[in-house]
Amino acid sequence: MQLLQFLAAVFASLVVVWATDNGLQKIVTWDNGSLIVNGERVIIMSGEFHYQRLPVPELWLDVFQKFKANGMNTISIYFFWSYHSASKGKYDFTTPGKDIQRLFDAAKEAGLYVIARPGPYCNAETNGGGFALWTSDGSGGKYRTSDATYQQVWSEWIAKIGAIIAKNQITNGGPVILAQVENELQETRYDANDTLVLYMEQLKTAFKESGVVVPLTHNEKGFRSKSWSTDYNNVGGAIDVYGLDSYPGGMSCTNLDSGFNMPKTYYQWFHEVSPTQPEYLPEFEGGWFQPWNGYFYDQCMAEQSPEFADVFYKGLVAQRASLINLYMAFGGTNWGHSAAPVVYTSYDYAAPLRETREMRDKLKQYKLLTLFTRVSKGLHNTDMESNGTQNAVDSSAVWTWVLKDRNSDGRFYLAEHNSTNSKAVSDFALTARTSAGDVIIPSLQLAGRQSRWIVTDYAIGNETLLYSSAEVLTYGIFDHPVIVFYVREGQTGEFAFSTQSNITFEAFDTASDIRGISAGNFTSTKYTKFIYTQTKGSTAVRFSNGILAYLLDIPTAWTFFAPSTTPDPNVRPEQQVFVIGPYLVRSASIDGDTVSIIGDNANSISIEVYAGAAKTISWNGFELATETTPYGALIARIAGTEERKISLPALAEFKAADSLPEIAPAYDDSRWVIANKTSTLSPVKPLTLPVLFSSDYKFYTGAKIYRGYFSGSGVVGLNLTVQGGLAAGWSAWLNGKAIGYHPGNASLTLTTTAISFGNATLKEKGNVITVVTDYNGHDQTSTGPAGAENPRGILGAQLLGSANNSSSLLFDHWKIQGNAGGEKNIDSVRGPMNEGGLYGERLGWHLPGFDTSDWEMANPGTEGITGTGIRWFTTTFDLDVDEDLDVPLGIEVGAAGGTVARVLLYVNGYQYGKYLPHIGPQTRFPIPPGIVNMKGKNTLSVVIWSQTEAGAKLSTLRLFEYGKYQSGFRFSKIDGKSLQPGWEDRSGYA
């Protein structure tokens, strides 16, 4: 063993010598096999996480522990400029949800590397693509070019965020190993003077000046261009490690048979574009977003299928990908007004980890690959030996990839259907090349959308698998090696050790049919092969060569965990404990004879632990009655939550008030902003003057309210153009009388309507039009003509005269009101995108502690609102959930068919739901702990904006639980008080 360790150390030093570095440090290097961190190769298995979409910092560790438990060693993180900078020159990195030092600390505590992606542009279906919204008035210059104005504004952001990233680089003891420059910026001209090339050079310089020394990366936007690789037409702007984003699934929420076509061209693409670099996919399909009027994520079963993980994620590794990031691994919530118009409140994304922080089967299936790649060092540096239809197999229905370890005889075969969307059952045999000669492995099967690893000459400690068609999940080195196989129930597994002597075995399950057969021929090494049909559950088998094997079916494999005993993300086989049974294992440690497991569980089950010499299991701090099996594992029973009852209160006892007094002609708007600009920096020009773009008056997010004054009784109508993003609507009143509205359309970002004044009474002077415009975010740069600089609010308002009065009719003046304080960010904890400009929002009615004692009793379900208008409902409710339980909660709403309304849900001051009953699709809104107080008082506001005279009310309004888990996580440590500042007087913003 000492000799092996010495040789490994020598090889590691040679790797460092041969690898490429960026000239700034040598801790993170690379070649075309893999990334090399601290001299050791590592396959990066990463998940995308956006802290802005989960603004409870204590829960970041919860998510990270779930990532780590499922085998990931890295997280990739976007840093949204928009979230941290409410106005020019102002940055917030200290309030709880924006304290990114806590984010890095949590990643390090969980044992995860970090890939930092600070933009300045991110896309990500977030508001404005992540650009600071104060640039949306045109003051940001020409986005994503070398324009000097644009450079001036983004440089400050990169300097600020870059300094924090730099502090947390692995070179300084932190978790950051890579930093991404920009996002999906396509290089279309290979010209050193092209504005995009100059822009990338500016960014690279800015990153370095901020102290970032780890390798820089970028992400190609699909197979659309070939950008920023040092290996391909490098005229400038190239980064260290090229990456390719890919979302190939093409699945449907309504047709489970559609899509599911895995491209077989990744290897060729990287071989052409970045042959000296490891194959990196900065964004690979972890799911897909859903639009307004689309489907809700729970309906999209194809995206959630574990078959997708089994075929697509394995297929990437088989094409030599060694850095894979799932976008998204956890989607979270577009709370407040943080969404771009292309998505609604939920950003669940059908991700492996649900918006509720619950693990989907797709995540459990991903774990079977991540744990395999973690310990399979021969897979970390391979050559593509062969690939193709009927390659090494006897069936034309099967495609096989063959990778060869560059440092041994080891090979990795991946068999998949030639057409990956096939649901056929295909039986086949594979001829595997081994150190003992070719071996024919019969009785292999692909049952529909399935892929299977077959390994040869696979080292497990001092022993070697000659071959195995039973898929290796992982192996560990304890007092002897322990290997874990998995096979679908009813399918055949076969394996052999390279040991020449006869090997005997003992199976500890009478249901198993495992048998040993002598194999080999006169010209090859004799060996014993072991064949079995996988039964339900788990079988332990002890071999005379000292190996212990677990034979698992897929559902049991999903409950297998290998928590590491080291904080290093690059875990070695000897730095693990094996656990079978629970819903989740967060961590494990060994102290003397006790192995301590921290985890979560839903159902009472038996837990099995393999931890070497340990004798007793401790579960979440409680010592269990533990037995030892004949093969050295420990077993005990752990309790579930079947008998733990959660009492959720009915949502009742609401108080209500009018939230649209602004429609009254006499309403006092003397403190409102006068909208009188006659020019704008926006690249989009107004249809009429004055300029009424909300960003020009420093109101960026949420609803805006306009009051336009005009004189004369000869006006017959108004031509109104409003732009609030997809599905956004508006309503208008004249002298207190409703005159028109648009309900919003999921396909239209702006609407133009000719409104008749036929049902209104005009005055010679002092007529007032009140327009309330909704807001669904600023556009990403893919939306023309100007992306995030596409204006919001009123684009044009032209009074219309009668046939006898066709001269140009002008407004006397306009006033505008938006979120309280505009860009002052008066609620810095919840941040600049939480609120809009509705009357109740401006006065802080959504905040805990606001006094509703003088409001009337009314219920959003039984009374609602009569006619057009906006009515605000507030109540409080108490929860008393035990501190050792994780109970994801949500609010469900509904309305009768035909209801045209816009509904906001505020929980303890956070806008955590936007419901459009006439557009959809979302009716269920998860609320995480920390936003909702699991012990104590909560404030709920329901805001109903009725757009028709039919009025609006809710047919459903209730709290519900998604699940219930006994947990060792410290949910009681969530600091709700710091996250939920209470009401202060805001009367100055009326």
Q: Which residue of the set 184, 279, 307, 662 is catalytic?
A: 184
Q: What angle do CA 664, 669, 673 make, to 5 degrees?
A: 135
Q: Which residue of the set 40, 48, 125, 283 is catalytic?
A: 283
Q: What angle do CA 63, 287, 921 make, to 5 degrees?
A: 100
What burial letters (b/e) apply to 453-462, b meaning 16+ CB within 10 Å? bbbbbbbbbe
Residues 6+ apart with CB under 8 A from 23: none
Q: What angle do CA 770, 771, 772 make, to 5 degrees?
A: 125
The DSSP line for 334-388 is --TT-B-TTS-SB--TT-SB-TTSPBPHHHHHHHHHHHHHHH-GGGGSEEEEEEE
What burial letters (b/e) apply to 38-64, b meaning 16+ CB within 10 Å? ebbbbbbbbbbbbbbbbbbbbbbbbbb
- Determine whether 67 is exposed, middle or buried from the number of CB atoms within 10 Å of its CB (0-12, 13-18, 19+): buried
Measured N-to-C along each axis, helices 148-167 and 100-110 cross at an angle, to the nearest 10 degrees, of: 40
Cα atoms in the Cβ-side hemisphere of radius 13 Å centred on 234: 13
CA distance 876 to 939: 4
CB 219 within 8 A of CB 282: yes
Tell me the CA distances in angstroms from 440 to 429, 434, 437, 471, one per residue in order.
7, 10, 10, 16
CB 413 within 8 A of CB 421: no
Dihedral over Cα of 731, 734, 737, 739: its sign: negative
CA-based nearest residue to 472, from 376, 561, 559, 405: 376
CA distance 495 to 516: 10
Instruction: Give catalytic status of residue 283 as yes or no.
Output: yes
CB 949 within 8 A of CB 900: no
CA distance 347 to 609: 36
Cis peptide leading into residue 120 (ω within 30°): yes
CA distance 246 to 604: 40
CA 512 to centroid of chain Cα atoms: 41
CA distance 295 to 134: 32
CA distance 118 to 104: 14
End-to-end CA separation in angstroms for the chain: 76
CA distance 731 to 741: 4
Cis peptide leading into residue 921 (ω within 30°): yes
Q: How many Cβ atoms are within 10 Å of 239's Cβ, its own excluded? A: 26
CA distance 629 to 392: 41
Rg (C-alpha) for the chain, rounded Å, is 31
Please report the beta strands in 867-916, taking only residues with DSSP state E, as ranges in sequence order. 869-880, 885-886, 889-894, 901-907, 910-915
Instruction: Give catalytic status of residue 863 as yes or no.
Output: no
CB 927 within 8 A of CB 891: yes
CB 155 within 8 A of CB 206: yes
685 DSSP assignment: P
CA distance 212 to 916: 44
**DSSP alpha helix (H) spans, 438-573:** 554-558
- Determine whether 24 is exposed, middle or buried from the number of CB atoms within 10 Å of its CB (0-12, 13-18, 19+): middle
Active site residues: 184, 283
